[in-house]
Amino acid sequence: MKVTVVGATGLVGSKMLQVLTERNFPVTELIPVASEKSVGKEVTFKGKQYKVVTAETAISMKPNVALFSAGGSISLEWAPKFAAAGITVIDNSSAWRMDPSKKLVVPEINGKTLTTEDKIIANPNCSTIQMVLVLSPLHELYKINRVVVSTYQSVTGTGVKAVNQLMNERKGISGEMAYAYPIDLNVIPQIDVFLDNGYTKEEMKMVNETKKIMGDDRIRVTATTVRIPVIGGHSESVNIEFEKDFELNEVRKTLAATPGVIVVDEPSAQQYPMPKDAHDKDEVFVGRIRRDETQANTLNMWIVADNLRKGAATNAVQIAEYLHAQKMI
């Protein structure tokens, strides 16, 4: 099983290598790809050193699967070239997510829709993945009408430059800025660029991707996405209006039985999910589960996950695991 990681030296690419190791994915040969300036450098994987190569060289080495985490423009250019060579691409960028000819996959929800014909598979947005993993089993039971979500997203969602900005500001050092404003001791209510409708691209990703993954265009979603001075882990306040009424105990039991979800919901003991508790974990954590007392059939909850793992690297590796188990790669 030859595996290429495109963007192997970046935050998500490095996390992909870690997750491949931890989950013992059957890699017989790793082919790390990065920018021209990184070619020839070495990447350590399972105690062995592998030289970084160009995307072109990687294609010639005929890997079975390519995990992409190098940005949308690289994906648009190179994913079709890998696919044309018969290599299955799992892409972490936003390049292919809303392409009607490409599957947008969270394995626990819609992995079964994948076939051998799917040569470019899109990995959803980090903030969408953790939300839909919780929404999906509840949608099956009660049918979701509308979701109102506000996110509290960590700086690792932007990349190393943003982490450096936060740490520099914390130390009182001036340096390169990833954001237009200071992030330490601040909150920035903008993630990605603004669109004509006044929402940001990140907010509309959550709106559109949720419908596509859950296979239901009737679900109405409205989002506000916010950057906070936290190193890792995204949090979300989610308000869900259902068609049918629910019992809180049934909601908790359903979520506790959902693969990949952990319920942390003991308000009397001050037990609820926090980013620091989700660090380096693959699960999505949910708590503060309570009825919205202002309208019927409506639920409030708080969802937290490590955005570099289930929100990116782990989900991509889980797609590869599913393909391997089904003998599609």
Q: Where does residue 183 rank: exposed (0-12), middle (13-18), buried (19+ CB within 10 A)?
A: buried
The pLDDT value recorded for residue 93 is 96
| DSSP-based three-state secondary structure for 209 | helix
Residues of the chain short of pLDDT 70, as ranges, are none
| Catalytic residue (choose from 139, 234, 279, 324) | 234
Which residue type is seen at 26?
Answer: P
At 166 the pLDDT is 98
Q: For residue 324, indicate whether it is catalytic.
A: no
- Provide CB contacts within 8 A for 122, sequence distance 6+: 91, 95, 96, 97, 99, 102, 103, 104, 105
- Active site residue: 126, 139, 279, 324, which one? 126
pLDDT recorded at residue 202: 98
pLDDT computed for residue 88 by the predictor? 98
Cα 235 to Cα 304: distance, rounded to the nearest angstrom: 4
66: which 2 tokens? 């390519």
Active site residue 234: yes
At position 127, the amino acid (one-letter code) is S
pLDDT at residue 226, as a whole number: 98
What is this structure's pTM?
A: 0.96
Cα 309 to the center of its chain, rounded Å: 7
Check residue 126 and give its pLDDT: 97
